[in-house]
Amino acid sequence: MKIALGVSACIGAYKAVLVLRHLQELSVDVEVVMTKHAQEFIQPLTFQALSTHPVITDMFASTERSDIYHISLAQAIDLLVIAPATANIIAKLAHGIADDFLTTLYLSTPAPTLIAPAMNVEMWRHPATQENIKILSDRGAKFINPEAGYLACGMKGEGRLADPLEIAQKAVQIIQENKAKTSVVKTDLINEHILITAGPTREYIDPVRFISNRSSGKMGYAIAQAAIERGAKVTLVSGPVSIAPPDQANLIKVSTTEEMYRAVLDNFDNATIVIKSAAVCDYRPLVISNQKIKKTSSEMSIELERTQDILAALGERKTSQVLIGFAAETQNLIEYAQDKLERKNLDLIIANDVNALDAGFDSDSNRVTMIDRDSNKVELPLMPKREVADYILDAAVRLKNLS
């Protein structure tokens, strides 16, 4: 994915650095274009050092390039993001004024545009600004509206640049949606029944307390969505999560590891591909109190026992199914993952380091290594979990064809 990040003259220009960093964390290649007056707020060198690309600041600057760069860049990008976008730049875009590199790039690119306005509250509310936003919206430009709060001018109200992470995530979403519309739809899973587990499990101590983990279910739900889009029948066994499941999935909600174990075994024989992405609890309290345990002045110990090993049980029972597991580790990632692959009779294991702040648990992105039974490894860079899902399904299809 490639994005041109336009930065216009606003006190919030420094936040464009955060937008750049978040985009890079989502595996986006970013080139920065700055207006002349944006350079009064932040220096181009900052963006150059972070993006590893020269920052474009002048339409007619001398360059070693032989091409007309606003045209070649316009054709190369998947999205033009302007953050922050002042009332002035919005007005220029709305009325087709092309007096610098950024406005000329906007008129030259067939790629979609995402605009994140930032300005004084009265400028934001002014009918001229709102009319210009409507003009651009009607042409297909996407907006991520400013937040309300105290502004640099001392006033309070709408006008503060939206959260940089939200801008970056919206940008990637637009690219993915645009590519989905123009790409060839895969139908390689039409005859497959895929059983997927997702989310955490909970092991109760008493009616109000439980042991669990940080899993959000986002990876498993992304796999389910991708499989449905490729034609599969999907059974999704999910622990407690706060995200909506794909509409066409057969959703089975569970809470404890034992409940997940029973649900998975009940549906295992009818599945052709099984993907165990859930983060189940390995231990549970030996004794569960029927009433809330009251706090006392003494220490309390909880004796734990092992829960059912769902993945090992599937490895023992599998016949023609392709069985894929996950290894969420904090150390010795590849070593532990390969050991788990062999012990549990898996066809493929997805190893991810859950220590990473930008991937793994409760993140929209992931960075994984896929390892098969022949010890072949495929390392995927940081990317949205929806993209990781397709790589996993591609591998599942290859394994199914070999079985």
- Say if residue 125 is in the same domain as residue 33: yes
182, 202, 219: which is the final residue of a domain?
182
266 shares its domain with 198: yes
Same domain flag for 247 and 393: yes
**The total number of structural domains that make up the chain:** 2
Which amino acid is present at 202?
Answer: R
Domain final residue pick, 141, 158, 182: 182
Which listed residue (71, 107, 128, 153) is catalytic? Answer: 153
pLDDT at residue 12 is higher than 90 = no
Calculate what percentage of the chain has a pLDDT beyond 70: 93
Q: Could you tell me if 266 and 390 lie in one domain?
A: yes
Confidence of residue 64 (pLDDT cuts 50, 70, 90): very low
**Predicted pLDDT of residue 223:** 97
Q: pTM to 2 decimals?
A: 0.60
Residues 174 and 218 occupy one common structural domain: no
Regarding whether 228 and 144 lie in a shared domain, the answer is: no
CATH number at residue 373: 3.40.50.10300
Residue pLDDT, tens place only, 112-158: 999 999 998 889 999 999 999 999 999 999 999 998 776 666 667 77
Task: Please indicate whether residue 153 is annotated as part of the active site.
Answer: yes
Same domain, 20 and 166: yes
Choose from 50-59, 60-69, 155-164, 213-222 the range with maximum mean pLDDT: 213-222
Q: Is 187 part of a structural domain of the chain?
A: no
Q: Do 145 and 215 have their domain in common? A: no
Q: What is the pLDDT of residues 364-375, one digit of tens each?
A: 888 899 999 988
Express as a percent the part of the chain with pLDDT over 90.
66
- What average pLDDT does the chain have? 90
Kindly state whether residues 106 and 251 are assigned to the same domain: no
- Whether residue 277 is found in the same domain as residue 128: no
Residues 132 and 88 in one domain: yes
Closest CA to 111 of 84, 83, 78: 78
Regarding whether 53 and 163 lie in a shared domain, the answer is: yes
Residue 326 included in any domain? yes
Which residues form the domain of 206?
Answer: 193-402
